């Protein structure tokens, strides 16, 4: 088994462990249609972002 010659500092240890933190995606409800939307993104259902039309959606009949 390996034996460290020097103490690993808290900063160095924590930097190494940063990629182990996995957080779930935060969802919000669209203010226009009520669909679940990821924060800071345009609604894929209606094309609105923060109450304004951001993307013109095509109507498929």
Read off the pLDDT of residues 24-48 as tens digits, 9 standing for 90 and up.
889 999 999 999 999 999 999 999 9
For the chain, the helix, strand and coil percentages under 3-state DSSP, each to the nearest 5:
15, 15, 65
> How many angstroms separate the CA atoms of 32 and 42, rounded?
11
pTM of the model: 0.56
C-alpha to C-alpha distance for 61 and 56, rounded to whole angstroms: 16
């Amino acid at each position: 088994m390996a034996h460290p010659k020097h103490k690993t500092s808290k900063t160095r240890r924590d930097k190494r462990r940063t990629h182990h933190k996995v957080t779930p995606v935060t969802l919000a409800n669209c203010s226009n249609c009520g669909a679940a939307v990821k924060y800071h993104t345009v609604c894929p259902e209606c094309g609105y972002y923060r109450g304004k039309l951001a993307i013109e959606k095509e109507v498929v009949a």
